[in-house]
Structure 1
Amino acid sequence: MKSTVRTKDLLENFNLTLVAGEDGIHREIVTSDISRPGIEMTGYFKYYPKERLQLLGKTEMTYFLDLSDAEKRDRAEKLCTDVTPGIVVSRGMEVPEILVEAANKSGVPILHSPRKTTRVISRLTNYLEAKFAPFTAIHGVLVDIYGVGVLITGQSGVGKSETALELVKRGHRLVADDSVEIRQEDYDTLIGNSPPLIEHLLEIRGLGIINVMTLFGAGSVRSYKKISLIINLELWDQKKQYDRLGLDEDTMKIMDVKLPKATIPVRPGRNLAVIIEVAAMNFRLKRMGVNAAEEFSERLTTMMDHDKDEMD
Structure 2
Amino acid sequence: MLLVKDLVEEFDLKIWGGNAGLENEIPSFDLSRPGLEIAGYFSHYSSDRVQVLGMKEISFFERVLSDQDREDRAKRLCRKETPCIIVTRSQQPPLELIEACNETNTVLLITEDNTTNFTSRITTYLEKELAPETNMHGVLVDVYGIGVMITGESGIGKSETALELVKNGHRLVADDNVEIKEVNKNVLMGSAPELIQHLLEIRGLGIINVMTLFGAGCILTEKRIMLNVHLENWTDNNTYDRLGLEDKKIKILNSEVTKKVIPIRPGRSLAGIIEVAAMNHRLNQMGHNAAHEFNDRLNEKIKNNGGSQ
Aligned to 1:123: 121
Which amino acid in 1 is paired with 2:125?
Y
Of stretches 280-289 and 151-160 in structure 1, the one that deviates more from structure 2 is: 280-289
Alignment of 1:78 onto 2:76:
yes
Aligned to 1:137: 135
Which of 51, 61, 65 is the matching residue for 1:64?
A: 61
> Aligned runs of 1:271-310 on 2, under 5 Å?
271-310=269-308
Aligned to 2:262: 264
Deviations, residues 235-286 of structure 1 (Å, cap 9, x unaligned): 1101111111111221111122121111111111111000000010111111
Alignment of 1:26 onto 2:23:
yes
> Aligned runs of 1:27-176 on 2, under 5 Å?
27-66=24-63, 67-176=65-174
Instruction: Give me the whole-angstrom Cα distance separating, in 1, the residues matched to 2:81 and 2:247.
Output: 49
Deviations, residues 165-193 of structure 1 (Å, cap 9, x unaligned): 00000000111110111111111211111
Deviations, residues 140-163 of structure 1 (Å, cap 9, x unaligned): 001110000111000000000000
Instruction: Give me the whole-angstrom Cα distance separating, in 1, the residues matched to 2:110 and 2:124.
Output: 19
Of stretches 76-85 and 173-182 in structure 1, the one that deviates more from structure 2 is: 76-85
Instruction: Give me the whole-angstrom Cα distance separating, in 1, the residues matched to 2:49 and 2:304.
Output: 68
SS at match of 2:256: strand
Deviations, residues 31-64 of structure 1 (Å, cap 9, x unaligned): 1121111122123334322211111111110111
State the Cα distance separating 1:307 from its structure 2 match.
4.0
Percent identity over the alignment is 52
Which amino acid in 2 is paired with 1:51?
D
**Contact kept? 2:54, 2:88, Cα under 8 Å:** yes
Instruction: Give me the whole-angstrom Cα distance separating, in 1, the residues matched to 2:297 and 2:36.
Output: 66
Aligned to 2:188: 190
Instruction: Give me the whole-angstrom Cα distance separating, in 2, the residues matched to 1:91 and 1:34.
Output: 17
Instruction: Give me the whole-angstrom Cα distance separating, in 1, the residues matched to 2:196 and 2:113.
Output: 36
Aligned to 1:8: 5
1:96–1:241 distance in 2 versus 1, CA, 3 Å? same
Deviations, residues 79-107 of structure 1 (Å, cap 9, x unaligned): 22222111100011112222222222221
Which amino acid in 1 is paired with 2:185?
Y
**Contact kept? 2:26, 2:83, Cα under 8 Å:** yes
Aligned to 1:252: 250
State the Cα distance separating 1:309 from its structure 2 match.
4.6
**Contact kept? 2:186, 2:257, Cα under 8 Å:** no
Instruction: Give me the whole-angstrom Cα distance separating, in 2, the residues matched to 1:81 and 1:299.
Output: 67
Instruction: Give me the whole-angstrom Cα distance separating, in 2, the residues matched to 1:301 and 1:41.
Output: 67
Deviations, residues 101-133 of structure 1 (Å, cap 9, x unaligned): 222222111110111111111111121111221
SS at match of 1:5: coil
Instruction: Give me the whole-angstrom Cα distance separating, in 2, the residues matched to 1:193 and 1:96.
Output: 43
Instruction: Give me the whole-angstrom Cα distance separating, in 2, the residues matched to 1:224 and 1:178.
Output: 15
Unaligned ranges ≥5, structure 2 = none
Unaligned ranges ≥5, structure 1 = none
State the Cα distance separating 1:198 from its structure 2 match.
0.7
Equivalent pairs counted in the alignment come to 308
Instruction: Give me the whole-angstrom Cα distance separating, in 2, the residues matched to 1:271 and 1:146.
Output: 17
Of stretches 60-69 and 164-173 in structure 1, the one that deviates more from structure 2 is: 60-69
Aligned to 1:236: 234
Q: TM-score, normalised by structure 2?
A: 0.96
Which of 202, 206, 215 is the matching residue for 1:208?
A: 206
SS at match of 1:153: strand
What is the CA RMSD across the aligned residues, in angstroms? 1.4
State the Cα distance separating 1:304 from its structure 2 match.
3.5
